[in-house]
Amino acid sequence: IVWCLVLFFLAWPLALFSLSWFVFLENFEALFLVLFGSDVVYTVNDFLERVVLWPRELGKAIATGSQSFPIPPNEVSSKERVSTSGFEASKILWSIAWLLLNIFVAYPLANFLGWWWVIMMPFESLIEALVDVDAMLEAFVTWPRMLMKATITQYEQFPNPLENRSQSPHGEYHQHEEHGP
pLDDT at 7: 86
Closest CA to 160 of 147, 177, 171, 178: 147
Closest CA to 142 of 177, 178, 95: 177
Q: How many residues does the chain have?
A: 181
pLDDT at 178: 40
CA 59 to chain centre: 19
In tens, the pLDDT along 40-95 reads: 777 888 888 889 988 988 888 888 888 888 877 776 555 555 544 555 666 778 88
Average pLDDT over residues 127-135: 92
